[in-house]
Chain A
């Protein structure tokens, strides 16, 4: 489903910073993979490259058999909206729109008819347990509810790939566990490929596969619920 071959990313500023170097990674359809590593290890960069939010300096990335290199901005956007759902640490809901409208936005962007949008958004809100909050503004929701809303938005077209950047990072332990359970449940029910970038070892271990990054390289790639990842305690929440 996701193929990364020799991927590198260098940021050119006053000083050259190598964020990723020679990363080779292959993730199959329906896998649930966590990406862990200390701060600055390149995990968010890796997620951004896979999500088409950023472009690699070197190497090749393929999503569902489609190479990302050489795609125009609009082609990348189309790929993103058809194949990828994003879940952010800070939810990134649009503050002026209701819960329902936030979920409906990607569908509007795709030009879906109004009736179909209504059906799908309602279905997704029910799926994440927010049917009763449909007209609430993000400000009127709890942290967990906001993330549920963001997950519903990410699932709007049931994309084959779900990318989550620290999905529990801004939540308390209990709510974090609930969100994780929801993601796992959706993964199992919908069969999406899920990539979670996290600092939280419990979140990481709950995934079937764990990829550890350090200094822009893959340090470890193994099955989950096994050895603990050594990470910088100062970075933990």
Chain B
């Protein structure tokens, strides 16, 4: 501690900018880590909270995926003696149309029984209390009744009796506020944007027919929840899920798994990169402070004490950086939470409202600990180098101790061994763990080889730099050659960042290419008629009869009716798409990845088989011909996979069945989307106008053109890959930080050299030129190594994406446009990063520089 105060503190004070640059690595890492995790967690937490608060005292919930089930199921459940209360629920999210208010969660309940599960504490209306609601029959008797939360009422100036317009499946209707719920558990669900209406009214509003989404129940005192659950499962069959309310929230976690995984990779990556910057600075500090270390050693400090001194500094730096990072991370989370919330809502069709961030003390503590550990790990090798400093050599003025003698050879041998191990892992890639280990080993081999490659590249660049500027260029190249340690950390950080950019860029490009291909062959109707602007939202449904009405509209050619919903298959939510296969085949082509095209359509159209998306087959381990057990409210269907096709309907994979089969087993004739092909010669705009004219006033309905849908899907894809841009931003930041760090150290290290240059006639611009060229050289070396490692990482990323994340087999295409942009981009960044250090170099005192030691 005393050494930290006497030795480290004065050094930090003297080199404050550099020390701040060191901790910037940790700040950046921890900030991105905390920011992304907190934002993600806040969204998940908001969903959990909504589920939890809506559940009230519900002990079990019965559902059949998203498909809903017939009303008679309620009678069967209520007849179970151990069930104290069982109530039907319909849940939907609607756009309020009120500026700034976003979505409103509508809970359709049966007020006669629901109050024993949920607490509706109502405010007095000042005109005789809440007697309107006190008698649930009154509420029920008026299907336009609505109860809103006090927050919502306040924000929208709604009093009892106020009329609220809402678009329903029967057109736009006015609802009357007949109750305002006081603040409490239920009212804080969905950020307070909650309204309650009668469940039978909700059936009409949302086009549910005579179906419920869910049954919420509580068991009688003394009955075991587990036993009731087992009994209900046996009673209802495998098509129903009987779960505790928390299981619903867990399904959200499953669905958003890929997103969470990607976000986690980004956040950990930021911290990993930050480590190299810390390593770099500590390594330099050891080189620069060798005289000081020599004196301490001469005065009796043991190697252990020197090691501890540097590790102690890294703990302080880690702690300081982590706390700053924590604060920055919370600020990032504040900015990102809303964005991620709406992104997940759109992509997965699961509504939640996350306006506030949830700071988890465990996560915060973990981030600080992780920041400190990262800092200490990064400082381990430099601290070891410091402990090895020879006091005799260190005290000789002007004599630089070569700490790295012999290290390069050992490192090259280690890299070769690691690279062989990485290649061997590829042979065992069917065991997934080996594939991941192989990837990590490949990165490790690249890191071990970075100093050697950087040295070779700097040597190769020397003639070019010398040709460009004989003095400045030579000195810049020599600076890199002379002190590879000074640059290796920054080059490694740059290499890793750019490799990730290339890998993600390649992945993104391949995904876009594949999505474009799919859009072309599968998503080719001229118009889409949907009950919501977002194709992923499935809360509203059309009646099947609307199909005939649409067909009668002049200009409409063929119509395909599609009903999609998530159902649980093997316990995991899976997108189930029901469409008229014969109709579908007339226009859309779905080239099979596996299976015979003619045969697969024939069998599926007959209801004898399913078509599986490529990602479903990969992620769930199904092959052509395998039988999938699909639980439905009418029993389990055992259908073989007749064909595997490329389909991007859902990230978790999808199953396509014939609509007739779905109608039979789910007893559901509703439709989510009508896919319309125009008759020959019909004008798109004209037909769209006619549809809106006919249905606009009767139904909630949106007519989207093929262009709209493509734009929508590409926008979703863009948003999805938005996280890629965060990584690119982190990469650029790392590049800036690393290069500024290296140059700051470089000009301090070469202060005398630069002073001599000025003393013997070097003009300021010539000195600046040296620094700029050095920065450009570091950037060039980093870009070359990053592009090379990126080629390898792209291979791993495509495999990971195919096998473990999205299940999509994408072709390997090196993202040359990104690579071509990176070189000038990073060089520009390198140049900008060099401006401040170069100015410091030319503006310092010449006399001090010449005396510097």
Contacts and interface: CB of A to CB of B under 8 A. Distances in A.
Interface in A16-64: 48, 51, 53-54
Given A92-B850, A108-B471, A73 B764 contact: yes
A168 B474 CA distance: 30
B478 interface: yes
Nearest to B400: A95
B763 A105 contact: no
Contact of B760 (A90, A97, A101, A105): A105
B757 A109 contact: yes
Nearest to B755: A92
B465 to A, nearest CB: 13
Given A53-B850, A94-B475, A81 B760 contact: yes
B766 interface: yes
A97 B761 contact: no
A106 B764 contact: no
B756 interface: yes
A114 B765 CA distance: 21
B762 interface: yes
A233 B760 CA distance: 33
A74 interface: yes
Contacts of A109: 471, 757, 760-763, 766
A97 B476 CA distance: 12
Interface in B710-756: 752-753, 755-756
Contact of B470 (A90, A95, A108, A154): A108
Contacts of A108: 470-471
A95 B482 contact: yes
B760 A86 contact: yes
A53 B846 contact: yes
B817 interface: no
B853 to A, nearest CB: 8
Contacts, number: 74
A78 B760 CA distance: 10
B7 interface: no
Contact of B847 (A54, A95, A96, A106): A54
B767 to A, nearest CB: 10
Interface string A147-171: 0000001101000000000000000
Interface string B78-92: 000000000000000
A95 to B, nearest CB: 7
A92 B762 contact: no
A184 interface: no
Interface in B743-794: 752-753, 755-766
A153 to B, nearest CB: 6
A88 interface: yes
A109 to B, nearest CB: 5
Contacts of A90: 397-398, 853
Contacts of B230: none
A105 B759 contact: no
Contacts of A225: none
B455 to A, nearest CB: 13
B762 A77 contact: yes
B845 interface: yes
Nearest to A54: B847
A136 interface: no
Given A54-B845, A54-B846, A101-B474, A96 B481 contact: yes
A77 B758 contact: yes
Given A94-B756, A97-B474, A109-B471, A77 B482 contact: no
Interface in B809-853: 842, 845-847, 850, 853
Contacts of B479: 96
Contacts of A73: 764, 842
Could you tell me the dominant secondary structure of chain A's interface residues?
Answer: helix
A202 interface: no
A217 interface: no
A77 B850 contact: no
B763 A53 contact: no
A138 to B, nearest CB: 10
A81 to B, nearest CB: 3
A81 B398 CA distance: 26
Contacts of A88: 756, 850
A153 B847 contact: no
Nearest to B469: A108
A78 B753 CA distance: 18
A78 B758 CA distance: 10
A110 interface: yes
A72 B846 CA distance: 14
Given A54-B845, A74-B764, A96 B752 contact: no
Given A92-B752, A96-B482, A110 B474 contact: no
Nearest to A81: B761
Contacts of A114: 470
Contacts of A96: 475, 478-479, 481-482
Contact of A78 (B397, B398, B763): B763
A106 B760 contact: yes
A231 interface: no
A80 interface: yes
B759 A86 contact: yes
Contacts of B757: 94, 105, 109
B603 to A, nearest CB: 75
Most buried by A among B398, B475, B752, B850: B850
Interface string B241-257: 00000000000000000
Contacts of A81: 760-761
Contacts of B397: 90
A156 B847 CA distance: 21
A20 to B, nearest CB: 13
A92 B756 contact: yes
A54 to B, nearest CB: 5
Nearest to B752: A92
A87 B623 CA distance: 81
Nearest to A75: B763
A80 B481 CA distance: 30
A80 B759 CA distance: 7
Interface in A66-122: 73-74, 77-78, 80-82, 86, 88, 90, 92, 94-97, 101, 105-106, 108-110, 114
B742 to A, nearest CB: 17
Contacts of B761: 77-78, 80-82, 106, 109-110
Contacts of A51: 759
Nearest to B846: A53
**Could you say which of A94, A96, A105 has the most chain B C-beta atoms within 10 Å of its C-beta?**
A94
B87 to A, nearest CB: 80
B160 to A, nearest CB: 75
A78 B755 CA distance: 15
Nearest to A159: B761
A48 B760 contact: no
Contacts of A154: 760
Contacts of B845: 54
B850 to A, nearest CB: 7
A90 B853 CA distance: 10
Interface in B469-499: 470-471, 474-475, 478-479, 481-482
Given A53-B850, A77-B763, A77-B764, 19 more contacts: A73-B842, A74-B763, A77-B761, A80-B759, A81-B761, A86-B759, A88-B756, A90-B397, A90-B853, A92-B759, A94-B757, A96-B479, A96-B481, A105-B471, A105-B757, A106-B761, A108-B471, A109-B761, A110-B761
Interface of A: 48, 51, 53-54, 73-74, 77-78, 80-82, 86, 88, 90, 92, 94-97, 101, 105-106, 108-110, 114, 153-154, 156
28 contacts: A48-B847, A53-B847, A54-B846, A77-B761, A77-B763, A78-B761, A78-B763, A80-B759, A80-B760, A80-B761, A81-B761, A82-B761, A86-B759, A90-B853, A92-B755, A92-B756, A94-B753, A96-B478, A96-B482, A97-B478, A105-B757, A105-B760, A106-B761, A109-B757, A109-B761, A109-B762, A109-B763, A114-B470
Q: Which 8 pairs of residues, A with B, have the shortest CB-CB distance?
A: A81-B761, A96-B478, A108-B471, A106-B760, A92-B756, A53-B846, A108-B470, A109-B761
